Amino acid sequence: MAPLIAPSILSADFAHLADEAEAVRGADWLHVDVMDNHFVPNLTLGLPVVKSLLKATDIPIDCHLMITDPDRWAIGYAEAGAYNVTVHAEAAADPVAVAANLRAAGAKAGLSLKPGTPLDAWVEALRHYDTLLVMTVEPGFGGQAFMPDMMAKVRQARRLVDTGHLTVLVEVDGGISADTIEQAAEAGADCFVAGSAVYSAQDPAAAVAQLRATAARHRPAPPTPSQAGPA
Ligand code: DX5
Ligand code: ZN
């Protein structure tokens, strides 16, 4: 599978979101950061804007919910037609139930870990999920510096997938650019969120294609048959 690139509209012009989605044609997913000013110290947009975006673009919508009480609110994004809905492990009261509800509503279910949240405690819950979002910055703002220390978590997730213990796509979010995507690709990420790197480019669609090509060149070789399969 080719690496997936998900431009984050957090770095786009919120007054022209339909045009900003068109500007990244060819992107695999469109990443939408929902922030509630409680779980993170920033406020962005919510379900009404996501519903409008769904009508304005054919790119699958990847909702990243940085909100408290996702057990209550996440389902609405799935019912509206988002392709993937990611909640934070630190915020969910019952992550297994959240995943089941998201899938029942027709969406992929994603679980996100803040930089300080280790993967180990969430492996069991992740058996119920389709995507794992490894934060490579503290959630809340675009344009922050990539945290290379998080590559250990990405490598751990990659190993769990390659050995058949998990079936999630491994997604990274925060500080991904032409300079940092190599590290994340080498660590084994499948999907790369990029906000400022895409939307500050002269040609955002070309930036998406370049990021995808760079990630493809730096992916680890697929596991050999003896490494793969449940232990
Ligand atoms: C941060 C958001 C990211 C953000 C990434 O809390 O989750 O999706 O948009 O922006 P960049 O790529 O600029 O770090
Ligand atoms: Zn995000």
The whole-angstrom separation of Cα 3 and Cα 190 is 5
pLDDT at residue 228, rounded to an integer: 67
- Look at residues 82, 62, 51 and name the one whose alpha carbon lies nearest to residue 9: 62
pLDDT string in tens for the chain (231-residue length): 899 999 999 999 999 999 999 999 999 999 999 999 999 999 999 999 999 999 999 999 999 999 999 999 999 999 999 999 999 999 999 999 999 999 999 999 999 999 999 999 999 999 999 999 999 999 999 999 999 999 999 999 999 999 999 999 999 999 999 999 999 999 999 999 999 999 999 999 999 999 999 999 999 988 877 766 665
Q: How far is the CA of 159 from the centre of ligand 2 (A)?
A: 23
Please report the atom of ligand 1 found closest to the CA of residue 194: 12
Q: Which residues are catalytic?
A: 33, 173
CA of 106 to the centre of ligand 2 (A): 21
CB of 53 closer than 6 angstroms to any ligand 1 atom:
no
Tokens of 76: 């609405």
Residues in the chain: 231
Is the Cβ atom of 35 under 6 angstroms away from ligand 1?
no
Mutate to test the pocket of ligand 1, among 5, 10, 64, 133 (most ligand atoms within 8 A of CB): 10
- Sequence spans of domains, the chain: 4-218
pLDDT (0 to 100) of residue 229? 63
Distance CA(186)–CA(226), nearest Å, equals: 21
Looking at the CA of residue 177, tell me the nearest atom of ligand 1. 12
Looking at residue 44, its amino acid is: T
- Specify the pLDDT at position 218: 97
Supply the pLDDT for residue 142: 98
Mapping DSSP to helix (H, G, I), strand (E, B) and coil, where does residue 152 land?
helix
Q: Does residue 31 have its Cβ closer than 6 Å to ligand 1?
A: yes
Closest-CA residue to 193 (of 216, 168, 175): 175
Say yes or no: domain 4-218 is CATH 3.30.70.270.
Answer: no
Nearest 5°: the CA angle 47, 52, 57 is: 120
171 Cβ below 6 A of ligand 1 = no
33 lines ligand 1 (CB under 6 A): yes
Find out whether 223 and 202 touch, Cβ atoms under 8 Å.
no
**Global pTM value:** 0.97
